[in-house]
Amino acid sequence: MARQKIIIDTDPGQDDAVAILLALASPELEVLGITAVAGNVPLDWTQKNARKVCELASRPDIRVFAGADRPLKRLLVTAEHVHGGTGLDGPELPEPSMPLQSQHGVDFLIEELRSQPSGTVTLCTLGALTNVALALQRAPDIAPRIQQIVLMGGGFSEGGNITPAAEFNIYVDPHAAEIVFSSGVPLVVMPLDVTHQVLTTRKRMDAIAAIGTPVARATVEMLDFFERFDVQKYGSDGGPLHDPCVIAYLLQPALFQGRSCNVEIETESELTIGMTVVDWWSVTDRPKNALFMRQVDADGFFELLTERLKTL
Ligand code: BDR
Ligand code: CA
């Protein structure tokens, strides 16, 4: 079986961590590397957290790179109020002993995309799009080489989660998002409309806990911590599990439904900066630049996640 080559760009983050675990548990995927970006917490934490998660999955061989420590133009906004001071509050995970790669994450993205056969590498982005935008700016020749970018970000009918208009990942670096959305690279977008359907209900968490392995235990501890904020905010049974939707799409695309449409990023207005303006009804002639998802089979998603976590 030819494995799908992916690079994960991420700001762990408990939900990022579960996305990384899902990828590492999936034989269909070959993780060429992980690039960390500042977002949920500053870069020093996100790169370290990415290494902790690889070690939790017994994969110290995965190369982890540190990328951008701040957005292109704006000051960094973080989300310790959701993820805790470390970004990965919940379980006690040991300090990682696997090294951080010395190459900058953006240089790695450029070099790897140039050295792999064109059109064979998918970028999975789980945080602000700063690293990818920097790579595209510095090396425009990589754009046609990227098979697709599957990203968690944005919202349509769900609105925003960090401001009324904006979802966190796009809000943190709207200028980077604008570069990516106008790059011509095929985009698949997992917005809040989808991720707010993927709730960590007690029943689903109990099924993961029942696996009984250290990975399953750590997953439940991470998600128990992570959901408390959203449970309070939305009054739901469980919180939304955003980032793993990106990986699940590569494994079982039929779990998701959406349509191809134009998506533009607001970068000017202080009121709505970071908003994804989605032309769902094709009321403009602007080019369709993204496959924008709206629906997910949440039970199917959790069956997949739970089955895969059993293998770690
Ligand atoms: C996104 O923001 C981060 O806090 C999560 O990790 C996810 O990537 C959800 O808006
Ligand atoms: Ca994230």
pLDDT tens for residues 249-279? Answer: 999 999 999 999 999 999 999 999 999 999 9
Distance 285 CA to ligand 2 centre (A): 32
Q: Of all protein residues, whose CA lies closest to atom 10 belonging to ligand 1?
A: 168
- Give just the sign of the alpha carbon dihedral 32, 37, 41, 46: positive
Give the residue ranges of DSSP H helices in 120-167.
Answer: 130-138
Distance 40 CA to ligand 2 centre (A): 7
Residue-wise pLDDT for 15-35, tens only, equals 999 999 999 999 999 999 999
Distance 188 CA to ligand 1 centre (A): 16
Residues 6+ apart with CB under 8 A from 308: 22, 25, 26, 251
Phi, psi dihedral angles at 211 (to 5 degrees): -60, -40
Looking at residue 310, its pLDDT comes to 97
Token pair for residue 225? 């911590």
- CB of 173 closer than 6 angstroms to any ligand 1 atom: no
Q: pTM value?
A: 0.96
Say which CATH class 4-309 falls into. Answer: alpha beta
Give the catalytic positions in this structure: 242
Q: Which of 40, 150, 193, 241 to mutate to test the pocket of ligand 1 (most atoms within 8 A of CB)?
A: 40
Q: Which ligand 1 atom sits nearest the alpha carbon of residue 167?
A: 10
Looking at residue 66, its pLDDT comes to 98
Residue 150's alpha-carbon distances to 172, 184, 228, in angstroms, are 18, 13, 27
